[in-house]
Amino acid sequence: MKDAEILSLSVTDMVTLLSDKKLSSVEITKAYLDSIGRQQESINVYITVLYDEAIAQAEKADNARASGEATSRINGIPVAIKDNICTKGIRTTCASKMLSEFVPPYNATVVDKLIESGAVILGKTNMDEFGMGSTCQNSFFGETKNPLDVTKVPGGSSGGSAAAIASLQTPVALGSDTGGSVRLPASNCGVVGLKPTYSSVSRYGLIAFASSLDQIGVIGRNISDTAILLDEIRGYDSKDSTSSKREYRSLYSALSKKTDKKLRVGVPDECFSDYVSEDVKTAYCNAIKMLEKFGAEIIRINSIPYKQALAAYYILSSAEASSNLSRFDGVRYGYRAQNVKNTDELFIKSRSEGFGDEVKKRILLGTFVLSSGYYDDYYLRATAMKNRITSDFNCAFKNVDVIITPTSPRTALSLEHMLSCTEIYKTDMFTISPSLAGLPALSVPCGKGKDNMPIGLQIIGNYFCEETLLRAGLIIEEQNHE
Ligand code: GLN
């Protein structure tokens, strides 16, 4: 099979060809590594590419299949991993100078699961430093470009993972999502991204940004590929104290069975606000029509307080970040500054030189909102807002199965955008509230903007209702391809 043909296969196709022995994992892996080699310089999606290790893993996967030991669906399938997820013996940088030399002595649980399943890890993908950003431009290793238009950003923070999929440099990838970092890049790059219910995927080995919100998520070319990857990584883990003990059935198998359950779809008023660009509104309205055509009942719901959610998110996530990132001081962990006179200077210089501007801004903000005198005014009020948003969602889910919004109010920004940081923060206005509530949310392509760039539809579901989300996503995906 020619490389171009291999690269065009979905994971489902590859699984069939691998089990029919019509294709080997080594052939697939080589095709992807060549594709990476051709594009790495122009798009910059990987921080580390595992050329030799990937081929060795692929050979192992082929042998396991030949001897009948391969039990998992994804045995031999290549995967890319965001560079804030620890990989034993492989540099894990969080796209920061602070961790540019960090080689973890252990694997994240999700990585262990993928290796056990026989997946082939192609490399570690670029991101906004420590997950802080919406453009993938806050990286010590240089910005990632959007493969659909290299003058645009891919979205962040998991921009490398989404761009890798859109440019055929991996079939599927892991990202992490604290306030939208899987969904926004998926939307900007025209691929599918799913942030699962908080607690359903282990966070052990995910380098923390804001622990109460962080969640590892999956990105793929289509809904089924995304479901296959999520099936492999979710489940209880005793190493993560927030991990749920729930048992899960395979999403991939569930999706292959039809259901005639009528879908009730909530449409919040806020999605029609002036801040949402006209082309995004048009694509959003088309998506509503697609769901209606499929028999869904559309129900207007009271708006979720998006602006307040945004403010609460930046207070809470920065507060947690300031605490989580305090360990990177050049002594306990991370980059150590040279030529210092005393320990105070060592801490100050290591942190000043090791962190980029956005990370420093968040640490300052977080330290401020936690300081005495301001704690009640900011941190406690933000916590109250988070609780209110959670109960608003709980109320809404009494009457609807899913809630839909645009993933972002606009298409991908230009690399040269001159937006202030607060304007950039608003690109996450729709993704943040489900994160605050810990709900699962999906971004699926639902059209194109005036600039011919993709637009994503966000589908939010109730806790542990990933199957419902993916089913709704399938309706959009199928009609989009017609
Ligand atoms: N863009 C948001 C931020 O900068 C969300 C990031 C994320 O989900 N990791 O905080």
Question: In whole numbers, what is the pLDDT of the chain averaged over residues?
Answer: 96
Q: Residue 305's pLDDT band (boundaries 50, 70, 90)?
A: confident
Pairing of strands 120-125, 78-82: parallel
pLDDT in tens, 315-343: 999 999 999 999 999 999 999 999 999 99
pLDDT in tens, 113-155: 999 999 999 999 999 999 999 999 999 999 999 999 999 999 9
pLDDT for residue 481: 72
Mutate to test the pocket of ligand 1, among 317, 357, 429 (most ligand atoms within 8 A of CB): 317
Ligand 1: residue whose CA is nearest its atom 10: 132
pLDDT for residue 450: 97
Q: Is residue 7 part of a domain?
A: yes
Q: Are 407 and 187 in contact (CB under 8 A)?
A: yes
Which atom belonging to ligand 1 lies closest to the Cα atom of 179?
8
Q: Residue 303's pLDDT band (boundaries 50, 70, 90)?
A: confident
Rounded CA separation 372/335 (Å): 30
pLDDT in tens, 249-276: 999 999 999 888 899 999 999 999 899 9
Q: Which of 24, 35, 72, 157 is catalytic?
A: 157
Q: Which of 35, 161, 181, 224 is catalytic?
A: 181
DSSP alpha helices (H): ranges in 91-149?
109-116
Q: Is residue 67 part of a domain?
A: yes
The CA-based angle 225-104-107, given to 5 degrees, is 40
Which atom belonging to ligand 1 lies closest to the Cα atom of 209?
9
pLDDT for residue 482: 66
Catalytic residue status for 181 = yes
pLDDT in tens, 30-47: 999 999 999 999 999 999
Which atom belonging to ligand 1 lies closest to the Cα atom of 131?
9
Q: Is residue 154 part of a domain?
A: yes
Q: Is residue 42 part of a domain?
A: yes
Q: Residue 304's pLDDT band (boundaries 50, 70, 90)?
A: confident
pLDDT for residue 231: 98
pLDDT for residue 170: 98
Q: Which structural domain, as residue segments, surrounds residue 57? A: 3-255
Distance 350 CA to ligand 1 centre (A): 24
Indicate the number of domains in the chain.
1
Q: Residue 473's pLDDT band (boundaries 50, 70, 90)?
A: very high
Catalytic residue status for 187 = no
Which atom belonging to ligand 1 lies closest to the Cα atom of 184?
1
Q: Is residue 351 part of a domain?
A: no
Q: Is residue 458 part of a domain?
A: no
The CATH number of whichever domain residue 149 belongs to comes to: 3.90.1300.10
pLDDT for residue 73: 94
**Lining residues, ligand 1, CB within 6 Å:** 131-134, 157, 177-181, 209, 317, 428
Beta pairing partners, 400:
none
Q: Is residue 380 part of a domain?
A: no
pLDDT for residue 125: 98
Rounded CA separation 206/143 (Å): 22
Report the predicted TM-score, pTM, of the whole model to 2 decimal places.
0.97
What number is the average pLDDT over the span 180-184? 98
pLDDT for residue 193: 98
Q: Which of 72, 82, 117, 349 is catalytic?
A: 82
pLDDT at residue 452 greater than cutoff 90: yes
Q: Is residue 262 part of a domain?
A: no
Place of tokens 């196709």: 13
pLDDT for residue 155: 98
